[in-house]
Amino acid sequence: MVQYNFKKITVVPSGKDFIDIILSRTQRQTPTVVHKGYAISRLRQFYMRKVKFTQQNFHEKLSAIIDEFPRLDDIHPFYGDLLHVLYNKDHYKLALGQINTARNLIGKIAKDYVRLLKYGDSLYRCKCLKVAALGRMCTVIKRIGPSLAYLEQIRQHMARLPSIDPNTRTILICGYPNVGKSSFINKITRADVDVQPYAFTTKSLFVGHTDYKYLRYQVIDTPGILDRPFEDRNIIEMCSITALAHLRAAVLFFLDISGSCGYSIAQQAALFHSIKSLFMNKPLIIVCNKTDLQPFDGLSDEDKKLVMEMKDEAMKTVIGQGGEAINDDGVLLTMSTLTEEGVMAVKNAACERLLNQRVELKMKSKKMNDCLNRFHVAIPKPRDQKERPACIPQAVLEAKAKAVTEKEKRKLEKELESENGGAGVYSANLKKNYILASDEWKEDIMPEIIDGHNVADFIDPDILQRLEELEREEGLRLEHEADDDDFEMDGKELTPEEQEALAEIRKKKSLLIQQHRIKKSTAESRPTVPRKFDKDRKFTSERMGRQLSALGLDPTSAVNRARSRSVSRRGRKRERSLAREDSDVDAMDMDVDQPGKKLRMRSRSRSRSRSRPPGDVTPGEGFKDSAQKVKAMKLAKKSVKNRNKDARRGEADRVIPTLKPKHLFSGKRSIGKTSRR
């Protein structure tokens, strides 16, 4: 759990915003109406309340700023020195001291003016004293405006600092710039530190987390350090020095043995010897990086001698801790972050060394002695001289050995991905673990839905055999139907002319069936065209006569019947139009004696179209007959009778919404009523 969370510090307003916030709160949360006719005691109390309320608000806001910013003497020395490096301890304390002084001054101003207001003899004098008190308070806040702006910048920067726990298991990476520190932390954690081929890409501390033996380790990437006097180091380098000085961590000192970082091994060895005092009482590992460019065995004798001297110093540091001497291989390690060779070995060695050191320190502490007094280890006494080793069945051992071999043979998806082009190129095969009768079936395309049906409902292992049986039955049935068909003529007893006519009829019938099927398939997307808009003239009596004549039939009766139908239709239409004209003439005769033209037009329109009675039922209304509709209309009229009698507003009345609701536009609001905003 992170002990220090600087992201929770409240925003520090500027001097002008500070004054606006406090005066606005005073205006909103204190009474504003006062009359000169009030008693003088009431007037004094009114303005004294204003001054006291303003002072309390200033005091609360300034106290919150002082309390929320960390005190450098009370927090962990790592954070205390880091804040001193970043912001200068003196300026930081001066700014907070000015805030505290302003808080005390505002309290004294309020106290003095409340004492003066007790002797105010008029509304005007009390008001002048109140204005003077609030003005002097605001002047004090204006004077500390630069300190408020400075603290706000510090707050923003502190909120961006990494959340480092100084007391947890920590691995610290240090070395010259551009030796591969950020690449290493990106490999072993999920941190995303920017990596560039130039020095000082990392300008601040970065934190990542990794796991080892079910424990969480915090890995800190520090900016590069140059070999120069302590006074000449800049803020970026001092961040690394601060972390090395105060964090109890396993230190990984990175060496670039290829020289591609721009610094020789001699320069890096000089840096190691200049800061080796910071490595005391800490597990130290010297990591030779970039072995893909320069193998360790290919170094010159001078460079190897320098590296071995560093290794001896690291061994002295380890033995000087009070712990036991460790293996030489655990102090000097080689790796390459590009090929990832040796990366996990370095991580595991650092975690193991740190874990052993923490266990040793706990074993030496007094707390461990208190805990050991509570334990009792019971050792059973042997009852005879017979050996009783642990008995593990042979089947279990074989199964375990088989599982280990399978695990070694089986490749993980991550390994397959790296072998086949990496992320975005390799696509995992989700079908390779399907349990099927044959491995060849795994890549078959399996449709799920066909023609709106679920394929799984129709899966049958004997489907092909049943299909053959159905086709056989269908063929037998068609043969029987052909034998029993009495409606179709086989043409054996017809003359050659009749056989030709029969062939034409059957051909025409098949064409008509095909046209009908085409029209039926496109019926949804094709509009229905009336016969009178038949531009292609497909349905004329002359064409019908020609087709019947071509078939050897007499078309006279059919053509006459079609013509008689059209004539009768036109005759009925003509009769209706004549009847309408006669009714119009009669209406005009009736309107001769009427005085106005409007009345004549109204009688003429009524004669042309008469409205349907209210009780008539039209299709789609949902009524069975006229009686049911009349009954429903009576019930509807009865249901609104009381509402109409009381002149209440109904669904047909015009609605004018309230444009300025009273609760939003009237007077002052009490405390707590603005939370809905």
| 309-345: pLDDT as tens digits | 888 888 776 654 444 444 556 788 999 988 888 899 9
Taking CB atoms within 8 Å and a gap of at least 24, the contacts of 276-282 are: 276/313, 276/317, 278/241, 278/244, 278/245, 279/244, 279/251, 279/253, 279/314, 279/317, 280/317, 280/320, 281/320, 281/321, 282/248, 282/249, 282/250, 282/251, 282/317
When mean pLDDT is compared over 42-51, 330-339, 580-589, the highest value belongs to 42-51
pLDDT bin (cut points 50, 70, 90) of residue 544 is: confident
Residue 459 has pLDDT above 80, yes or no: no
Do 312 and 194 lie in one domain? The reply is yes
Of 336, 368, 400, which one is at a domain's C-terminal end? Answer: 368
Do 230 and 281 lie in one domain? The reply is yes
Do 82 and 220 lie in one domain? The reply is no
Gap between the Cα atoms of 162 and 169, Å rounded: 16
Of 580, 609, 638, which one is at a domain's C-terminal end? Answer: 609
- Domain assignment present for residue 351? The answer is yes
Do 244 and 149 lie in one domain? The reply is no
Q: What is the pLDDT of residue 152?
A: 93
- Domain assignment present for residue 331? The answer is yes
CATH number of the domain encompassing residue 306 = 3.40.50.300
CATH number of the domain encompassing residue 51 = 1.20.120.1190
Q: What is the pLDDT of residue 574?
A: 57
Query: How confident is the model over 103-149, as pLDDT tens digits?
Result: 999 999 999 999 999 999 999 999 999 999 999 999 999 999 999 99
- Domain assignment present for residue 144? The answer is yes
Do 360 and 212 lie in one domain? The reply is yes
Number of domains in the chain: 3
- Domain assignment present for residue 375? The answer is no
Do 216 and 102 lie in one domain? The reply is no
Residue 667 has pLDDT above 90, yes or no: no
- Domain assignment present for residue 523? The answer is no
Q: What is the pLDDT of residue 323?
A: 45
Do 135 and 172 lie in one domain? The reply is no
Do 36 and 185 lie in one domain? The reply is no
Gap between the Cα atoms of 165 and 405, Å rounded: 42
Domain span at residue 596 reads 540-609
Do 81 and 176 lie in one domain? The reply is no
The whole-number average pLDDT for the span 630-657 is 85
Do 209 and 83 lie in one domain? The reply is no
Do 118 and 182 lie in one domain? The reply is no
- Domain assignment present for residue 655? The answer is no
Of 368, 385, 409, which one is at a domain's C-terminal end? Answer: 368
Do 169 and 318 lie in one domain? The reply is yes
The two tokens of residue 595 are 């005085």
Residue 355 has pLDDT above 70, yes or no: yes
- Domain assignment present for residue 30? The answer is yes
Query: How confident is the model over 195-236, as pLDDT tens digits?
Result: 887 777 787 888 999 999 889 999 999 888 888 887 788 888
